[in-house]
Amino acid sequence: MKVDVNGRTFEEEPRPGQCLRTYLRERGWFGVKKGCDQGDCGACTVHVDSEPVHSCLYPAFRADGHRVTTVEGLAAPDGELHPVQQKFLDAQGFQCGFCTAGFLMTTAALDEDKLADLPRAFKGNLCRCTGYRAIEDAVRGVKNVEAPAPGESVGRSLPAPAGPQVVTGTARYTFDIDVPGLLHMKLLRSPHAHARILAIDTSAALRVPGVQAVFTHHDAPERHFSTARHEHPEEDPDDTRVLDDTVRYVGQRVAAVVADSEAAAEEGCRRIEVTYEELPAVLDPEEAMRPGAPVVHDKDAGTARISRPQDNVVGEAHGEIGDIAAGFAEADVVYEETFRTQRVQHASLETHGAVAWIDEDGRLTVRTSSQTPFLTRRALCTLYDLSEEQVRVMAGRVGGGFGGKQEMLVEDIVALAVLRLRRPVKLEYTRAEQFYGATTRHPFTIRVKAGARRDGTLTALQLRVVANTGAYGNHGPAVMFHSVGESMAVYRAAHKQVDAYSVYTHTVPAGAFRGYGLGQVLFAVESALDELARQLGLDPLEFKARNIIGADEPMLTPGGHEEDLHIASYGLDQCLSIVRRAQAQPGEPAPEGWLLGEGAALAMIATGPPGGHIADAKATLLPDGTFDLAVGTAEFGNGTTTVHQQIAAGELATTVDRITIRQSDTDVVRHDTGAFASTGTVVAGKATLRAARALADQLLDFAAAQLGVERANCRLTEEAVLHPGGRLLLKEVYAASRAVGLALAADGHFGGTPRSVAFNAHWFRVAVDPGSGEIRILRSVHAADAGKVMNPMQCRGQVEGGVAQALGATLLEQVLLDERGAVDTAAFRRYRLPQYADVPRTEVHFMETADAIGPLGAKSMSESPFNPVAPALANALRDATGVRFTEVPLLRDRVWRELERHSGSRRPLGSP
């Protein structure tokens, strides 16, 4: 074997059956990524003799005698970027960046004919973050970035600081490190939806050469916990063990094998003999609540924090404002219907995984793909009776999250192995495990009833919500409570009622997912109000505009008003104006024989969770006159690193390139709750603002004292303090401060309260083919009230990515279970993610508002774009066809069947 990789010759023979991807990564070419295991995502794309190949499918031995180029070898030997790399930098054609190397390698091999047909050219590459527009901009040579200016960073489209590393393949994700003596873990998983483990024989597994240990429930702590990560752990039920003697869904981990290689660990799993006693299982949440149903968790309600274990209800909410019966009695028109939403996988291209070791100080050190390193450390300390000083948790660059990594799904079992063996251990999920061993979005069933008077006044709004949380209650109660919050509060109605249930079943657990329940309930509420308006003969958008709350009105839900939640800036009226403007503009006609329709929906979301969300930051002057900024928030394409850098640069009157960021490491700052609930800019950004502002004050105070001048006569500039006599360089300020034993550094803190709300509206014009059920999006418009937009380019990308992910959930994606409750769609080729050809360009408009609570007027805008997309598309489909679709996804065959079912009995297609 002799292969040239990026100009270096390697002669090591590959292992039997080894693919080129692992061969390259084992030799340090970490730009080659693992995303799917089956050649579906393109993250592992490399060139073999200038031809792009998916290296996960390419046998390593076939590279013998060939020249292989990875993304690290794309640039010139002198370091000058390849033109394609420069284009991706100029356009910022990435977010988390995990897919970027694959797109770069594919793009670099395109000729003119292929460049003219990008939908076909990119059939083999997936992106979960961007919505593809920024990638197309990169390919076409569009420059989206602006140049930095001293003290004028906020509000500018500045590039991500890690951009050069992303496009050269040198950005380091979770497993892009070389750990000497590394052991590999594989998990044996349950074949049963519900069973008791009577015996486990591990003797044959331990005889497999290379197997170092096998862990079962006998080795696990007795303590129960929740995999969900929240600042207040009591929000979640304690129903999970590291390894349990009862399994509650197909795919639950039963044992862990640790070996010298993945192959040995896998063989060890195959050799374990488990004796199960199968138990009755329940897969449907409505059935789970009926008397006599199998109990999923027979635990004490108080200690486990489960609402009604005997009824499989993990959490519930009941409340009424006014008199709901009176509200319907005074209505002239009432609409009632049941809506259903499906399981959706997060499908972050970097799967869950962690690598851990004992460092030179004897501390447990965990490197993990997590949105919550600080909360994970806290959980590990509690689980294994360790102090926080004994545990360090850090995240590298995270390859996508979307809420799925607001969980502790791997760190606990890896820590168990490391603490026992005192050797480094790695666990990396396969793509299949990501489907049946991680979490999904909660499937919801929503019964909505709404009433209104003939003048368009909404009189009553009633919801019955059942959320299937699966076998474990991680996030179940919180998602359920949130789902019926802002979805009802955004509308003014004298009478409201909610009955909501989060229910256990013997199925794959659900968890946190972008929108956190709001998207599911808004699909029902926005569809129902659209239908109610049609029955009244009113324009649906006008009907909603009459009934939305105003800037000075309380946000009322049957669960009560959250005292720390405020409308600190109001842009919903502007959002609706954008939609009206789009409606009024002439559009592309539908193809002959197709039906044309338009539809809109709106959404409101709280910035951050109730009860507080903590962020700490520290800004420090460095010896060379530049600055260090330490923040806890993880970067996974959310863009918080860029925004924090911009905020700090603005306060310190410098440029972003003079701000070095250290982040997502429990050794860096005191505490950070985590990068979830749309808090990266608003909460951690406010902590950054306070730290940078305090440091600026320190610099001016110290310089004025040193110079013997009034502070009012001093001013910070890019690299100096200006004063009446000239300027004092910041590196001179540093030297002078150190000479008197003073460190110029400042801390910033924000507790996440009070909170504000953000608003969004989406509008579609669609064409529908009644002969096939195909939906073609002719125009997509999104209006976003994000307050002061910190980085327009980046925020636009967040909106586009949210819309694209929501379109996937609306039109394509569904995690299917078989009759046993096993996941039947455990691969990308069976689970249909949106590809480049599937995602239309969305016109993004930002409203002119400034929030009174957020840093420098900013509000959240990472989750909220997802929420109005499904109802807006369903409303457009209703407008085109006259048929109300009550279930997503709106698959082509489902649409066709429904149109056929209505064809003989309904009003003409397109009628009100």
How many distinct helices (H) and strands (E) make up the chain?
26, 31
> What is the distance between the alpha carbons of residues 140 and 118, in angstroms, rounded to a whole number?
10
- 8-10, strands of its sheet edge to edge: 8-10, 3-5, 67-69, 45-48, 51-54
Distances (CA, A) of 142 to 87, 93, 96, 149: 8, 10, 20, 21
Structure tokens at 872: 């807006």
pLDDT value for 150: 85
pLDDT value for 909: 42
Structure tokens at 737: 């401060």
Say if strands 775-785 and 842-846 run parallel, antiparallel, or are unpaired.
parallel
> Given the structure tokens 């923040």, which residue do they identify?
631
The single-letter DSSP state of residue 344 is: -
Q: How do residues 351-372 score in pLDDT, each as one tens digit? A: 999 999 999 999 999 999 999 9
Structure tokens at 216: 């079962």
Residue 750 forms beta bridges with which residues?
615
* Burial (CB count within 10 angstroms: exposed 0-12, middle 13-18, buried 19+), residue 199: exposed
- Reported as type and span, the H/E element at residue 479 is helix 476-483
pLDDT value for 905: 42
Can you say whether the dihedral through the CA atoms of 350, 780, 866, 643 is positive or negative? Answer: positive
In terms of DSSP H, where are the helices of 324-436?
Answer: 324-329, 373-384, 411-421, 431-436
pLDDT value for 903: 85
The single-letter DSSP state of residue 135 is: H
- Reported as type and span, the H/E element at residue 273 is strand 273-278
Residue type, 696: A
Q: Which residues contact 190 (CB under 8 A, 6 or more apart)?
A: 247, 249, 250, 251, 252, 253, 254, 276
Give the per-residue SS3 of 593-613.
Answer: CCEEEEEEEEEEEECCCCCCC
Apex 317 CA angle, 311 and 320, nearest 5: 130
> What is the distance between the alpha carbons of residues 55 and 44, in angstroms, rounded to a whole number?
6
> What is the distance between the alpha carbons of residues 504 and 472, in angstroms, rounded to a whole number?
7
pLDDT value for 904: 58
Q: Which residues contact 236 (CB under 8 A, 6 or more apart)?
A: 226, 228, 230, 305, 473, 474, 475, 476, 477, 478
Residues of the chain with confidence (pLDDT) below 70: 904-912
Give the per-residue SS3 of 756-805.
Answer: CEEEEEEEEEEEECCCCCCEEEEEEEEEEECECCCCHHHHHHHHHHHHHH
Q: Would you mind telling me the total number of residues written for the chain in this entry? A: 912
Given a contact cutoff of 8 angstroms between Cβ atoms, the answer to whether 124 and 56 are in contact is no
The DSSP annotation for 224-253 comes to -B-SB--SSGGGS---B-SS-SEE-STT-E
> Given the structure tokens 């890896």, which residue do they identify?
414
Given a contact cutoff of 8 angstroms between Cβ atoms, the answer to whether 887 and 894 are in contact is yes
pLDDT value for 906: 38
Give the per-residue SS3 of 629-671.
Answer: EEECCCCCCCCHHHHHHHHHHHHCCCCHHHEEEEECECCCCCC
Residue type, 330: E
The single-letter DSSP state of residue 615 is: E
605 SS3 class: strand
809 SS3 class: helix
> Given the structure tokens 């049946």, which residue do they identify?
436
Given a contact cutoff of 8 angstroms between Cβ atoms, the answer to whether 450 and 394 are in contact is no
Distances (CA, A) of 695 to 238, 621, 825: 42, 8, 52
- Residue 220: HSE in the Cβ half-sphere, 13 Å Cα cutoff: 21
- Strand locations in 455-572 (E): 458-470, 495-504
Can you say whether the dihedral through the CA atoms of 59, 64, 67, 72 is positive or negative? Answer: positive
> What is the distance between the alpha carbons of residues 616 and 515, in angstroms, rounded to a whole number?
25
> What is the distance between the alpha carbons of residues 478 and 481, in angstroms, rounded to a whole number?
5
* Cis ω before 889 (30° cut-off from 0): yes
The number of angstroms, rounded, from the C-alpha of 817 to the middle of its chain's C-alpha atoms is: 23
428 SS3 class: strand
> What is the distance between the alpha carbons of residues 103 and 176, in angstroms, rounded to a whole number?
19
Max Cα-Cα span within the chain: 90
- Reported as type and span, the H/E element at residue 103 is helix 100-108
Structure tokens at 136: 């197309």
Q: Which residues contact 656 (CB under 8 A, 6 or more apart)?
A: 148, 153, 158, 161, 642, 645, 646, 649
Closest listed residue to residue 623, CA positions, set 698, 734, 703: 734
Structure tokens at 152: 């004028």
Q: Which residues contact 322 (CB under 8 A, 6 or more apart)?
A: 494, 495, 496
Q: Which residues contact 522 (CB under 8 A, 6 or more apart)?
A: 487, 601, 603, 867, 868, 870, 871
End-to-end CA distance of the chain: 70
Structure tokens at 326: 């009176």
> What is the distance between the alpha carbons of residues 786 and 802, in angstroms, rounded to a whole number?
14
Q: How do residues 256-300 score in pLDDT, each as one tens digit? A: 999 999 999 999 999 999 999 999 999 999 999 999 999 999 999
Structure tokens at 156: 């500018």
> What is the distance between the alpha carbons of residues 120 and 116, in angstroms, rounded to a whole number?
9
> What is the distance between the alpha carbons of residues 411 and 540, in angstroms, rounded to a whole number?
48
Closest listed residue to residue 652, CA positions, set 624, 630, 628: 628
pLDDT value for 908: 42
